[in-house]
Amino acid sequence: MSAPFVSQSYRSWGGVTRTARPVAHPKWRQELAGLLGGARDRGDVLGVGLGRSYGDSGLDAGGRLICGRGLDRFMAFDPQTGVLRAEAGASLDDILQLVAPRGWFLPTTPGTRFVTLGGAVANDVHGKNHHRAGSFGLHVRRLGLIRSDRGALELSREQEPQLFFATLGGLGLTGFIAWVELQLAPTPSSFLDQEAIGFSGLDGYFDLLADSHDRFEHVAAWIDCSATGGGLGRGVMFRANWSAEGGLVTHERRLKLTLPLEAPGWVLNRWSVGAFNSLYYSVHGSRHGLRRIPYAAGFYPLDAIGGWNRLYGRAGFFQHQSVIPEGVAREAVRKMLERISASGQGSFLAVLKSFGGKDSGGLVSFPRPGASLALDFPNRGAETLDLLDRLDAIVADAGGRIYPAKDGRMSAAMFQQGYPRWRALEALRDPSFQSAFWRRVTQS
């Protein structure tokens, strides 16, 4: 017996898209065949995880969702080699509980641990160590995929390599990811030695970058989006290596605070956003020596507040994350910051990092060598959409692209220009799988 599809409300992480959908919550892998059987006659399906994608990439296009979160068992773990095989609904949070005390860590991690293995593979996620480790897909050894037209398959670089690479960063469109085998990375402790260095403008960021990438494994900068004129692009670079000391422990699972309700829409306005950014720069902007911090404080600061996305109120927010090729990155990032400043719509949180040259081989994976700027904007309707389109134009002119996991509105032209191999993914898409994102960027 398969779990039934039951209508359930669904809110994208950014909160702009809200809908009700038939969702099934299987508990056993054996149920998947039943859920996918005859799927074509019953409309499209899409596998989903913890819903941490900001826009519509985790939303089906009018069909049904299969939530993989209940399929979260560990299948094998070798503490000698750090090879872990787990069902795709296991979250990074679950995995760290098992492996961190044993001296292993995720090879790379996004800025939240509330992401499933399936979601991490489908978006080929990246962390602050892309210049050393590349993206998540590079560390996937094998995976189990269930397709509506071919049943259960095992994929690797040797076995069905085309479908394997299409599934890394394949936005969940090649079938349902049932399990993932991952090579973990060894760590000497569960603590990071982190340094914070303020810089007074974008040139300061790029000057600090080469030295930071040479000497540090984890590097990212916060940018003060409220600064204008001579202060444009000022911010704080955070760079860290694993500490040799502190011991092996896992993180505290209990959240420090959970927002019970959506905040009123006016809480994040241009004045509060500006005040927060200026205060943050004045506290962190001077140079701080090395500080030893637990990994959760370094990688997952936002996870300490459950439901932080509700701060943006009922209208929700947009995230805009781009990557710009190396040679033109400085100029394009400067133009984006000038455009934001001129619009008067500050980004509450702006993060700038730079990717290295390691390529997972994913057909539509987001990372490529260059600078990646991530921005959050409260949804103010037409004026915000207009700003985002103008930022897109700067990215397109510079030959860059936008991250689908963060997007809910880029045009089909913008997507297709940024991801020229999208047709190869379309050819390998499971005919029963479809997402609102994919339909929007490939069919309009």
Ligand X SMILES: Cc1cc2nc3c(=O)[nH]c(=O)nc-3n(C[C@H](O)[C@H](O)[C@H](O)COP(=O)(O)OP(=O)(O)OC[C@H]3O[C@@H](n4cnc5c(N)ncnc54)[C@H](O)[C@@H]3O)c2cc1C
Binding site residues, ligand X, CB under 6 A: 13, 46-53, 57-58, 68, 88, 110-112, 115-116, 118-119, 122-123, 125-127, 171-172, 176-177, 302, 405, 435
* CB-nearer residue toward ligand X: 294 or 408: 408
CB of 136 to ligand X, least distance (A): 8
The residue number with the shortest CB distance to ligand X is: 119
* 288-294 vs 235-242, strand pairing mode: unpaired
* CB-nearer residue toward ligand X: 176 or 295: 176
- Half-sphere exposure for 383 (CA within 13 Å, toward CB): 10
CB of 305 to ligand X, least distance (A): 10
CB of 122 to ligand X, least distance (A): 3
DSSP 396: H
* CB-nearer residue toward ligand X: 61 or 83: 61
* CB-nearer residue toward ligand X: 51 or 233: 51
277, 269 contact by CB (below 8 A): no
* CB-nearer residue toward ligand X: 185 or 227: 185
Q: Where does residue 254 rank: exposed (0-12), middle (13-18), buried (19+ CB within 10 A)?
A: exposed
CB burial of 419-432 (b: ≥16 within 10 Å; e: otherwise) equals: beebeebeebbbeb
367, 124 contact by CB (below 8 A): yes
Measure the CA–CA gap between 418 and 400, rounded to whole angstroms. 6
Measure the CA–CA gap between 379 and 307, rounded to whole angstroms. 17
* CB-nearer residue toward ligand X: 218 or 335: 218
The torsion angles phi and psi of 90, rounded to 5 degrees, stand at -65, 135
CB of 65 to ligand X, least distance (A): 8
CB of 245 to ligand X, least distance (A): 26
Number of separate helices (H) and strands (E) present in the chain: 14, 21
Q: How many residues does the chain have?
A: 444
CB of 142 to ligand X, least distance (A): 15
CB of 49 to ligand X, least distance (A): 2
* CB-nearer residue toward ligand X: 201 or 306: 306
CB burial of 8-25 (b: ≥16 within 10 Å; e: otherwise) equals: eebebbbbbbeeebbbbb
